[in-house]
Amino acid sequence: MTLIDGKKLSKKIEDSIALEVDNLKPKGVVPGLAVIIVGDDPASHTYVSMKEKSCKRVGYYSIVHKMPDTITQNEIIETIEMMNNNPRIDGILVQLPLPEHIDTTKILEVIDPKKDVDGFHPYNMGRVVENLEAYAPCTPAGVIEMFKEYNISLEGKDVCVVGASNIVGKPMAALLLNENATVTITHIYTKDLSSHTKKADIIIVGVGVPNLIKEDMVKDGAIVIDIGINRLESGKLVGDVDFENVSKKSSYITPVPGGVGPMTIAMLLQNTLTAAKSRES
């Protein structure tokens, strides 16, 4: 079994981004990322502070707009529009989830697609589905990078994606299809989940249920990618896969933490760099 080391790969990507940032400096370009966070959800604040730290590490300009959960939708929209018009900002990220009184779709649609480094705007999502150049959502894009790094070909492979959200499962399926994989998407309404996972060469799970994928749901030698992040009552961080037992059957597997998580941030930095490099166009 080979452990797919997302921490190591993300560091390698960060190092090459930092070099590119140095090369951009003489041209007067410093990539800039603006993050908007609403409310006081501790997990969201942890993610934002990790993103801020990684921006610092690679030499980006970054600003964080912290807003109380009493904020109105219009006030958030005004802030996004300000960032859309700010020439120092190349990427805008709205940390999800937003409070219930805010219409997430409306908010995401206000972001200029050229600054949509999270890849959640329907414009970018549509272009991803059509296999055109676009900002792909960072988590599934990070998973594709892992396959590339470990020379795992996706062509013709049977891949079962478990979870079908707009930010994880659906764009994951689209990116896999673009790599010529045969994709099955499963979700909460799937009748017999294990009948699908058992057939798969590759299982990619992003659900938010600890231990959902067990040993008897995985065929021998399968590749297992765990996107889930769950904090147990004990404080321990786990994914959606019963790692201890599934790892014994799999050929490759990602750990949690240290798997897909760091790759998500690396892809965010990558998308922001791409946006900064295309400032002129």
Q: Report the interface residues with ligand NAD, using CB under 6 A.
A: 139, 162-165, 167-169, 186-188, 190, 193, 206-209, 212, 227-230, 260-261, 264
The one catalytic residue in 118, 201, 226, 242 is 118
Taking the complex as a whole, the smallest distance from the CB of residue 197 to ligand NAD amounts, in Å, to 10
Nearer to ligand NAD, 76 or 260 (CB): 260
Please tell me whether residue 181 adopts helix, strand or coil conformation. coil
Strand partners, 205: 162, 226
Nearer to ligand NAD, 86 or 166 (CB): 166
**Both ends of the chain: CA-CA distance in Å?**
45
Residue 170 annotated in active site: no
The one catalytic residue in 5, 51, 115, 170 is 51
User: Hey, what are 160's tokens?
Assistant: 């079962």
Q: Are 209 and 231 a contacting pair, CB within 8 Å?
A: no
Nearer to ligand NAD, 110 or 173 (CB): 173
Q: Are 250 and 217 a contacting pair, CB within 8 Å?
A: no
Please tell me whether residue 3 adopts helix, strand or coil conformation. strand
Task: For residue 155, give every residue at least 6 positions away whose Cβ sits within 8 Å of its Cβ, in sequence order, or none.
Answer: 179, 180, 181
Residue 118 annotated in active site: yes
Taking the complex as a whole, the smallest distance from the CB of residue 87 to ligand NAD amounts, in Å, to 29
Other Cβ atoms closer than 10 A to 160: 27
Taking the complex as a whole, the smallest distance from the CB of residue 235 to ligand NAD amounts, in Å, to 16
Q: Are 35 and 65 a contacting pair, CB within 8 Å?
A: yes
Nearer to ligand NAD, 162 or 246 (CB): 162
Taking the complex as a whole, the smallest distance from the CB of residue 206 to ligand NAD amounts, in Å, to 4
Q: Are 80 and 92 a contacting pair, CB within 8 Å?
A: yes
Q: Kindly tell me the sign of the dihedral angle through the C-alpha atoms of 57, 61, 67, 72.
A: negative
Phi, psi of 120 (to 5 degrees): -100, -10
Taking the complex as a whole, the smallest distance from the CB of residue 168 to ligand NAD amounts, in Å, to 4
Q: Are 20 and 273 a contacting pair, CB within 8 Å?
A: yes
Nearer to ligand NAD, 32 or 163 (CB): 163
Catalytic residue set? 51, 95, 118
